Structure 1
């Protein structure tokens, strides 16, 4: 890494918008762990802030399954708050708090929920999650839920190609309530119909917190050009992610050969297609993410170095790492109430 790239990295508020945690029995992240992200790795790699995820897998939508998902999501959100100690690690639920943590030299801990199935058909849980500090909800995971169609149906749960034709009536109510209380709408994992309808309906720009470009890798989890254009038209954001299968197609029977250079190819493509203001970065660490060059949080500076080598300057690197996402957080807060 050049001195200039190192200096830019040191000064930049680097935010990873999607990191999974192990559940149950999460390890103590204050020490070295076998996970791709813990606080020592963040410090070594210059990763200043992380959105940790309360994730629930899509399962049967019976009373028992929904109740378990709801309880798990809330327990995970409460646990994530405990990762911040108020001194060297600050829990943040707003852009202002995130920027204050950075100014104080503290790591920033943020939270979000992945899979609206955990609402258990109860709209009031959104406010509970926001009050616990969550900043976004990923509408679906793999498999359709009561809110919307997913990009990857689960035939083992009886899913067809589509169930609702995008957002359900309940899903539309969810998006409206998220706008009202200041939760960002995340369309990662959503079917294209869901994503396009959410972009049209939401009063606040939407975000795909961990997706890549379908033009470069034809994967159902990626966004095609029409979807990218919709993000530009509505002020939204795609966070290019370090999951190999989303970055580069694997040869038959083999593993994707994706590297940091390939990831930045997706950044370049999205920037050229829809502009620097609509593109950001994430890892999906401990949820499948991790590639040679950015295998864990300790290697975060390598991504900044590659961006700098491609000609991105300090302003652009700040926008990609957190500036654009911080703007989204401010817009969501301003539109709430």
Structure 2
């Protein structure tokens, strides 16, 4: 991975990249799904092999990132669930500790929308803690409060494999999953969403089955989000959203964050065969279907996401440049790069007890 920003293949002399960099200095640019290595892995304050580290964020004008405490699905035994919870807590604590590291690059843990915007105004990067896979709580809803206490702004209900909360779009046959277990949300899953609403945590339906997604939209008092998915009409993949799901996102005032996973963008594609133009095709489709207020941008960097000319956080302006070429103005780009997500965060915060 080169240190310099990768130049897109077209429009190299049209001024769009310079304009993109200027826009990134003006607006909050929030990538809503970034994995962190675990165990800790390379130092995020140093240039290294991670697709997202702080020097790359600075070069790419990425002002904020949702750093996720991801736990893989395992058996639903108490010892395994406790281990998953302990891992999630340790990862959230590690994300929180980033702000205490002495460095020329300043970063803050930001548990709400106002804190993200304040960090931008004051020249600091924003680390937004999140949890991926509700398996991490087992059957103990009290664990959600511990996640929120550490700043977690969303939890993805499932990952690959059903858990005690809900059905996943990708059953784990190796764990004994049937195609459908709960028929969407379990009773525990509905209760978990109620607790998340009270805590001000967003409900993330990426990775869930379509029944789970629909029921989450019906049950949640705050808008649901899909933090890293693409559009089924352009690429038929289990992780992508059908048109009717996009409509549901719009109807509950939620947001879908289009993500840079090659296989979600083009059928059976390798990352090197996919470009920001392909990525922006999915953005275009979603915007035309459900409106600019319900679409955003994510990378899934360090969790499998990257494409040919968006290989790291340093390349984020390439996405903006392509969108500029397609006619998106600064106001639209502000919404796509974080404004819409901040809106749903604020709504979750508003209804919290």
Q: Which range, TM-score by smaller chain? A: over 0.9
Tell me, which stretches of 5 or more residues in structure 1 are unaligned? Answer: none
Which residue in the other structure is 1:101 paired with?
A: 119
Alignment check: 8 A CA contact 1:249 1:256 kept:
no
Which residue in the other structure is 2:6 paired with?
A: none
Deviation at 1:26, TM superposition (A): 2.4
Compute the TM-score of the two structures, normalised by the length of structure 2. Answer: 0.93
1:16 to 31, 36, 50: 31
Which deviations, in whole Å up to 9, do the C-alpha atoms of 1:304-332 show, x marking residues without a partner?
A: 10111110000000000010000011000
CA distance in 2 between counterparts of 1:45 and 1:115 reads 29
CA distance in 2 between counterparts of 1:255 and 1:333 reads 36
SS in 2 for 1:84: helix
Which residue in the other structure is 2:267 paired with?
A: 249
Which residue in the other structure is 1:162 paired with?
A: 180
Compute the TM-score of the two structures, normalised by the length of structure 1. Answer: 0.97
CA distance in 1 between counterparts of 2:305 and 2:240 reads 14
CA distance in 1 between counterparts of 2:335 and 2:77 reads 43
Which residue in the other structure is 2:106 paired with?
A: 88
CA distance in 2 between counterparts of 1:229 and 1:17 reads 21
2:85 to 66, 70, 73: 70
CA distance in 2 between counterparts of 1:154 and 1:114 reads 17
Which deviations, in whole Å up to 9, do the C-alpha atoms of 1:127-152 show, x marking residues without a partner?
A: 11001000000000000000000000
Tell me, which stretches of 5 or more residues in structure 2 are unaligned? Answer: 1-14
Alignment check: 8 A CA contact 1:178 1:184 kept:
yes
Which residue in the other structure is 1:215 paired with?
A: 233
1:324 to 307, 327, 340: 340
CA distance in 2 between counterparts of 1:247 and 1:232 reads 21
Alignment check: 8 A CA contact 2:161 2:167 kept:
yes
SS in 2 for 1:51: strand
Alignment check: 8 A CA contact 2:88 2:136 kept:
yes
Alignment check: 8 A CA contact 2:271 2:308 kept:
no
SS in 2 for 1:280: strand
Which residue in the other structure is 1:274 paired with?
A: 290
Distance 1:306 1:255, change over 3 A: closer
Which residue in the other structure is 2:69 paired with?
A: 54
* Aligned pairs, number: 335
CA distance in 2 between counterparts of 1:290 and 1:155 reads 27
1:35 to 50, 56, 72: 50
Following superposition, which runs of at least 4 residues in structure 1 exceed 4 angstroms of deviation?
none
CA distance in 2 between counterparts of 1:93 and 1:45 reads 23
